[in-house]
Structure 1
Amino acid sequence: MAQFAKPENALKRAEELINVGQKQAALQALHDLITSKRYRAWQKTLERIMFKYVELCVDMRRGRFAKDGLIQYRIVCQQVNVSSLEEVIKHFMQLSTEKAEQARSQSEAMEDALDVEDLEADKRPEDLMLSYVSGEKGKDRSDRELVTPWFKFLWETYRTVLEILRNNSKLEALYAMTAHRAFQFCKQYKRTTEFRRLCEIIRNHLANLNKYRDQRDKPDLTAPESLQLYLDTRVEQLKIATDLELWQEAFRSVEDIHGLMSMVKRSPKPSLMVVYYAKLTEIFWIADSHLYHAYAWLKLFTLQKSYNKNLAQKDLQLIASSVLLAALSVTPYDHKHGASHLELENEKERNLRMSNLIGFNLEPKKDGREVLSRSSLLSELTSKGVMTCVFQEVKDLCNLLENEFLPLDLASKVQPLLAKITKLGGKLSSASSVPEVQLSQYVPALEKLTTFRVLQQVSQVYQSMKIDMLSRMIPFFDFSLWRRFQ
């Protein structure tokens, strides 16, 4: 280990070694100084040394050296000049990003070059052998060898920085910024494996913070500024999860937001709750959970009507119509008929869990007295003023399907209304956080409901009926499968 009387001497020696092409020796000299106990008092020279140190680490892709040096430098300046550590870390991330972008710009086969399932996985011997015996030659292979290592290093940079900054009250703003940049990295390059891992990392950091919250320098989540940073990070996580169509991770992100707010017993701002419920509508629709999807839309409608003072009338009609059509799309019969006791208990527990998430109860309910159901939802639409805001076509459709008794003519009266509803929708001009509304997505479910209502009403009038007649009565339902068993 080299000993230097002054830090300036180590920096000078490192520059001399760099000039003669000995970067590894220069890096080692600076590493020895940074980790030495002789230089634990912060001074400006140490900051210049750290800038040169991280430049060498990035240039040589020495991730472990970078992490070791940054941890030591955090010890030096955390209590004296934390802004210096922030500047060094920002410089480190900027250099790593620039190198990755530079490699990407030099490659003409970017998609192939980043065709790696896991950026943390080492190259297997069989992959190396295959690359030599297969037809992967020339530029394609050189592109892969150029780009992939730099993106692996950039991902390692994000992980290193998050680990160094975690659960530190003086560095929480930089932690949030790093998390946002890591999320954007995953979105830009469609890195689903890394995104899942990143969500788990951030989840564990919060769990540890809650576990050791009484320790010194830990963030105080009851402080509005700290809470907002942690909340914004999880909202960004939720947005990216839905953009990447990682629906299971998106649902876990919703639970993360709910869990964070339950921890501090405080409800988020209405603008954030709009994003929360907007994403819930997407998640539940993908999961074919039409009942929960409809309840999420109802919450979204209530928020927009109460807090969005600039909400246009057409946008309000679209949102209200989505609420009503979503409610109608819920099957009006019990899927759990004949289910076992265990299945019924699991369904009850799931219903209670969804009720807490959708209702955003910070004190989770322990019983199922407020049961989520189609009938209670439809009755709630009237009390919340939804029915007065919907398009006339939607209102007429609801009246036909829920109130009228027209066993022979129901489908023929519903069909033109569905054709009109199909054309309604679009982006909302005054509710940017709400997803694009397309009422046509509910048409298949509404056709099934119409078929069910026709069969239900016909069974009250006739004892038997030919399939051909039913087929003419319900033109949008395929009876071909039934005919096979005649």
Structure 2
Amino acid sequence: MSTFAKPENALKRAEELINVGQKQDALQALHDLITSKRYRAWQKPLEKIMFKYVELCVDLRRGRFAKDGLIQYRIVCQQVNVTSLEEVIKHFMHLSTEKAEQARSQAEALEEALDVDDLEADKRPEDLMLSYVSGEKGKDRSDRELVTPWFKFLWETYRTVLEILRNNSKLEALYAMTAHRAFQFCKQYKRTTEFRRLCEIIRNHLANLNKYRDQRDRPDISAPESLQLYLDTRFEQLKVATELELWQEAFRSIEDIHGLMFMVKKTPKASLMVVYYAKLTEIFWISSSHLYHAYAWLKLFTLQKSFNKNLSQKDLQMIASSVVLAALAVAPYDHTQGASHSELENEKERNMRMANLIGFNLDLKPESREVLSRSSLLSELVSKGVMSCATQEVKDLYHLLEHEFLPLDLTTKVQPMLSKISKLGGKLASASSVPEVHLSQYVTALEKLATLRLLKQVSHVYQTMKIESFVSDDPVF
């Protein structure tokens, strides 16, 4: 280990080594100084040394050296000059990103160059054997060798920085910024494996924060500024999860947001809650949870109507129509009939869990099992004025399916309505959280509902019926 009377001497020595092509020795010299106990008081020359140190770490792709140096520098300056640490970390991330972008720009086919399932996995022995046997020396191989190592290093950079910044009240703004940049990296390059890991890392950091409540400089999540940073990070996580179509991770992100809200006993701003419910509608629809999907739409409609002052009447009408059709699309029968006691208890627990996420308060008494139900939802749509805001075609369809008794004419009346409704929708100008609405997505479920209604009504009138007569346009009995 080299010893220097002044930090400036170490920097000078490192420059000399770099000039003769010995970057690794220069990095080691600076590493020895940074980790030395002689320099534990912050001084300006140390910042210059750290800038040069991270530059060498990036040039040589030495992630472990970078992490060691940054941890030591955090110890030195976090109580005296945390701004210096922030500047060094920003410089480190900028250099890593720049190198990755330079490598990417040199590759002609980005998708082929980045066709790696896991940025943390080493090259498999069978891959090495295959390359030797096949004599692969073409453009694909050179692209992979050029681009992938730098993207691995960039991913390692994000992980390192998040680890260094975690659970520190003075660094939480930079932590949030780093998390956002890591999310965008995963989104831009479709890194689904890394995105899942990133979500788990952030989840664990929050869990550890709650374990060590007496830790010095621990962030106070209940403080408005801190809470906003934590919420913004998780909403960004939710948005990217849905854009990558990682629906299970999106649902876990919803639970993360709900857990954070419960922890601080506060409700986020209406603008964030609108995003929350908009994403819930997507998640529940993808998972075929039509009842919860409809309830989420109802909450979204209520928020838009109450807080979106720019919402046009036309867009409000489209959102209201979606709520009504989503409610009608829910199966009008109890799918738990005949279920065992344990299955009923699991269903009740799931119902309560979903109701908590949607924002409804459930009574825990056994008789409250039907709080989330199709019938209660339709009653709310009428009592809360949602039905009156929907389009006339949707109102007519609701009245026909829920209140009319037309065993011979139901299908002939429903079909034209569904044809009209399927053409309604499009982009919304004044509801940014709901960029577009397509009522056609409910047509299949509504056709099933109409068939069920028809069968039930026919069963009240006839004891027997031939299939040919049932499907005929002009039934004869």
TM-score in terms of structure 1 length: 0.96
Partner of 2:271: 271
Q: Which amino acid aligns with 1:348?
A: K
Distance in 2 between residues matched to 1:134 and 1:346, nearest whole Å: 55
Asked if the contact 1:427/1:436 (under 8 Å) is kept, the reply is yes
Partner of 1:298: 298
Partner of 1:423: 423
Partner of 1:38: 38
Asked if the contact 1:234/1:257 (under 8 Å) is kept, the reply is yes
Kindly state the Cα deviation for residue 97 of structure 1 after the two structures are TM-superposed.
0.2
Partner of 1:484: none
Partner of 1:482: none
**1:38 counterpart SS class:** helix
Distance in 2 between residues matched to 1:266 and 1:259, nearest whole Å: 11
Distance in 2 between residues matched to 1:73 and 1:356, nearest whole Å: 44
Length, aligned pairs only: 473
Distance in 1 between residues matched to 2:264 and 2:435, nearest whole Å: 29
Runs of 5+ in structure 2 lacking a partner?
none
The answer to whether residue 254 in structure 2 is matched with residue 254 in structure 1 is yes
Distance in 2 between residues matched to 1:198 and 1:435, nearest whole Å: 27
Asked if the contact 2:429/2:435 (under 8 Å) is kept, the reply is no
Kindly state the Cα deviation for residue 473 of structure 1 after the two structures are TM-superposed.
4.7
Asked if the contact 1:107/1:147 (under 8 Å) is kept, the reply is yes
Cα deviations across residues 231-277 of structure 1 (Å, max 9, x unaligned)? 00000000000000000000000000000010000011000000000
Partner of 2:170: 170
Distance in 2 between residues matched to 1:474 and 1:336, nearest whole Å: 37
Distance in 1 between residues matched to 2:360 and 2:192, nearest whole Å: 28
Distance in 2 between residues matched to 1:414 and 1:131, nearest whole Å: 62
Q: Which amino acid aligns with 1:418?
A: L
Distance in 2 between residues matched to 1:425 and 1:474, nearest whole Å: 33
Distance in 2 between residues matched to 1:184 and 1:320, nearest whole Å: 33
Partner of 2:25: 25
Matches within 5 A, 1:215-230: 215-230=215-230
TM-score in terms of structure 2 length: 0.97
Partner of 1:458: 458
Kindly state the Cα deviation for residue 216 of structure 1 after the two structures are TM-superposed.
1.0
Kindly state the Cα deviation for residue 213 of structure 1 after the two structures are TM-superposed.
2.1
Cα deviations across residues 265-321 of structure 1 (Å, max 9, x unaligned)? 001100000000000000000000000000000000000011111110010000000
Asked if the contact 1:356/1:365 (under 8 Å) is kept, the reply is no
Asked if the contact 1:238/1:253 (under 8 Å) is kept, the reply is yes
**1:121 counterpart SS class:** coil
Cα deviations across residues 103-149 of structure 1 (Å, max 9, x unaligned)? 00000121111111110011111111112223643211010000000
Asked if the contact 1:4/1:10 (under 8 Å) is kept, the reply is yes
Distance in 1 between residues matched to 2:318 and 2:53, nearest whole Å: 57
Cα deviations across residues 46-66 of structure 1 (Å, max 9, x unaligned)? 000000000000000000000
**1:388 counterpart SS class:** helix
**2:245 counterpart SS class:** coil
Asked if the contact 1:278/1:435 (under 8 Å) is kept, the reply is no
Distance in 2 between residues matched to 1:44 and 1:349, nearest whole Å: 59
Distance in 2 between residues matched to 1:365 and 1:4, nearest whole Å: 70
RMSD over equivalenced CA pairs, Å: 1.3
Cα deviations across residues 355-399 of structure 1 (Å, max 9, x unaligned)? 1110166xx864462720000000000111101100000000000
Asked if the contact 2:42/2:76 (under 8 Å) is kept, the reply is yes
Asked if the contact 2:96/2:153 (under 8 Å) is kept, the reply is yes
Asked if the contact 1:17/1:25 (under 8 Å) is kept, the reply is yes
Kindly state the Cα deviation for residue 464 of structure 1 after the two structures are TM-superposed.
1.1
Distance in 1 between residues matched to 2:473 and 2:83, nearest whole Å: 74
Partner of 1:481: none
Distance in 2 between residues matched to 1:205 and 1:410, nearest whole Å: 57
Partner of 1:107: 107
Distance in 1 between residues matched to 2:439 and 2:134, nearest whole Å: 51
Distance in 1 between residues matched to 2:402 and 2:385, nearest whole Å: 18
Q: 1:474 to 1:189 in 2, by over 3 A?
A: farther
Kindly state the Cα deviation for residue 44 of structure 1 after the two structures are TM-superposed.
0.9
Distance in 1 between residues matched to 2:125 and 2:113, nearest whole Å: 19
Matches within 5 A, 1:106-125: 106-125=106-125
Q: 1:184 to 1:474 in 2, by over 3 A?
A: farther
Distance in 2 between residues matched to 1:449 and 1:140, nearest whole Å: 53
Partner of 2:244: 244
Matches within 5 A, 1:128-277: 128-134=128-134, 136-277=136-277
Asked if the contact 2:173/2:229 (under 8 Å) is kept, the reply is yes
Q: 1:206 to 1:474 in 2, by over 3 A?
A: farther
Cα deviations across residues 49-94 of structure 1 (Å, max 9, x unaligned)? 0000000000000000000000000000000000000000000000
Distance in 1 between residues matched to 2:212 and 2:445, nearest whole Å: 49
Q: 1:468 to 1:243 in 2, by over 3 A?
A: same
Kindly state the Cα deviation for residue 214 of structure 1 after the two structures are TM-superposed.
2.4
Q: 1:4 to 1:294 in 2, by over 3 A?
A: same
Q: Which amino acid aligns with 2:228?
A: Q
Q: Which amino acid aligns with 1:191?
A: R
Q: Which amino acid aligns with 1:395?
A: K
Partner of 1:321: 321
Partner of 1:61: 61
Q: 1:136 to 1:357 in 2, by over 3 A?
A: same
Partner of 2:280: 280
Kindly state the Cα deviation for residue 457 of structure 1 after the two structures are TM-superposed.
0.3
Partner of 2:15: 15
Distance in 2 between residues matched to 1:254 and 1:435, nearest whole Å: 20
Q: 1:276 to 1:365 in 2, by over 3 A?
A: farther
Partner of 2:79: 79
**1:437 counterpart SS class:** strand
